[in-house]
Amino acid sequence: MHVDYMKAITERYSRLGYPPYDWYHADTPPPWQPLDRKLSDCKIGMMSTSGAYVAGQVAYFYKDDTSTRRIPKRTPTEDLRFSHITENYLVDPRRDPNCIFPIEALRRLEDEGTVGEVADELFSCMGGIYSKRRVAEELAPAVHENFKAQNVDAALLVAM
Amino acid sequence: MCHQTVSLVARYLEERGIPTMCMGSALDILTAGNPPRATFVDFPLGHTVGKPFDRDGQIDIVRRGLLGLETMTAPGIETLAVRWSDDEDWKREASDGASGGDVRQPRDTTPRYQYEEDRRLAEGG
């Protein structure tokens, strides 16, 4: 079986008296950009929606925060923190950030040559954004600018 | 709604020429968002790229996800062969609208720090 999260969340919100969540259902096929080289020749960018920040950075707020944090790939794991509207999913990430923010895995994949290079700055947002319009108009362009500025060949997007 | 957010961002990036791989653990939300490429990791939310402190397992999951960038030749969602536990009790709990799903915090514009010390550092106090 697979967990039906949309149904569980819809039921939960209804029971708690929250307004129903307006789920996104894509109504067009996804765009497609083939990878034009081997992964081992690629520079990879990474964004996590887990609400990761580095100690010293401003944390996220929980009402449609569309801001992002740049997280240098050499950041010590113990300096990573999380703030996310669904704090119930952060219990393990706060013990071991690597189960949601793959900073050590990416460093290893770079060292072993699976990927050519990992972009110097990884980054995160707080993905619990209820406004699809603000994702499209604020978050997505910021992510695009960051990846373009770092000349990434492909991007890994990790959802929480 | 993180899985929805990654699908929207992936479609935006891909349209502008950047190949993407989404990794996520909510198959229904990923399917609805229909991103160009996705890897489904059938673990409880909060563990998209592995179990805590299982470094080898985490590396393997990210490696297999990234290799999909090379091997997938058309849009779709690939399921990784991983198993959280011998039984599926966690799935029954997560599916229950009474106890499962998001336990969301109040929605406002106050930054929520993991530690009070983080607030002092960030505010320069």
Cβ–Cβ < 8 Å for A64, A84:
no
Number of domains chain A contains: 1
Q: What share of chain B has pLDDT > 70, as a percent?
A: 94
* Chain A to chain B Cβ contacts (< 8 Å): 318
B80 contact A CB<8A = no
Chain B CB contacts of A8 under 8 Å are: 94-97, 100-101
Q: Is residue B106 part of a domain?
A: no
Q: Is residue A58 part of a domain?
A: yes
| Rg, C-alpha atoms of chain A | 17
Cβ–Cβ < 8 Å for A49, A126:
yes
Query: Predicted confidence band at A127 (pLDDT cuts at 50, 70, 90)?
Result: confident
Is residue A23 predicted with pLDDT exceeding 90? Answer: no
Question: Do the Cβ atoms of A99 and B47 come within 8 Å?
Answer: yes
**Chain A: nearest CA to B50, how far in angstroms?**
5
Question: Do the Cβ atoms of A4 and B22 come within 8 Å?
Answer: no
Q: Is residue B22 part of a domain?
A: yes
Q: Is residue A7 part of a domain?
A: no
Q: Which residue of A has its CA nearest to B48?
A: A100
B122 contact A CB<8A = yes
Residue A17: how many other CB atoms lie within 10 Å: 6
What is the structure's pLDDT at A10?
87
Q: Which of B104, B118, B119 sits opposite A85 (nearest CB)?
A: B104
Q: Is residue A103 part of a domain?
A: yes
What is the structure's pLDDT at A27?
92
Number of domains chain B contains: 1
Question: Do the Cβ atoms of A98 and B49 come within 8 Å?
Answer: yes
CA distance B27 to B40: 6
A5 contact B CB<8A = yes
**Chain A: nearest CA to B102, how far in angstroms?**
6
Question: Do the Cβ atoms of A83 and B111 come within 8 Å?
Answer: yes
Q: Structural domain of residue A130, as residue ranges?
A: 38-158
What is the structure's pLDDT at A70?
97
pLDDT in tens, B73-120: 999 999 999 999 999 999 988 888 766 666 778 889 999 999 999 999
From A39-53, A83-97, B59-73, B93-107, the region with the lowest mean pLDDT: B93-107
Q: Is residue A147 part of a domain?
A: yes
Query: In A46-60, which positions are buried (b, 16+ CB within 10 angstroms) versus exposed (e)?
Result: bbbbbbbbbbebbbb
Q: Is residue B118 part of a domain?
A: no
Query: Predicted confidence band at A17 (pLDDT cuts at 50, 70, 90)?
Result: confident
Chain B CB contacts of A56 under 8 Å are: 118, 121-122
**Chain B: nearest CA to A131, how far in angstroms?**
9
Q: What is the mean pLDDT of chain A?
A: 94
CA distance B61 to B48: 9
ipTM of the complex: 0.96
What is the structure's pLDDT at A22?
82
Query: Predicted confidence band at A68 (pLDDT cuts at 50, 70, 90)?
Result: very high
Q: Is residue B107 part of a domain?
A: no
Q: Structural domain of residue B58, as residue ranges?
A: 1-86
What is the structure's pLDDT at B55?
97
Q: Is residue B123 part of a domain?
A: no
Q: Is residue B94 part of a domain?
A: no
Q: Is residue A122 part of a domain?
A: yes
What is the structure's pLDDT at B101?
61
Cβ–Cβ < 8 Å for B57, B84:
no
What is the structure's pLDDT at A128?
87
- What number is the average pLDDT over the span A20-48? 95
Cβ–Cβ < 8 Å for A79, A54:
yes
Is residue A59 predicted with pLDDT exceeding 90? Answer: yes
Q: Is residue A31 part of a domain?
A: no
**Residues 54..93 of A with a Cβ closer than 8 Å to B: which?**
55-65, 81-83, 85-93
Chain A CB contacts of B62 under 8 Å are: 102, 105-106, 109, 156
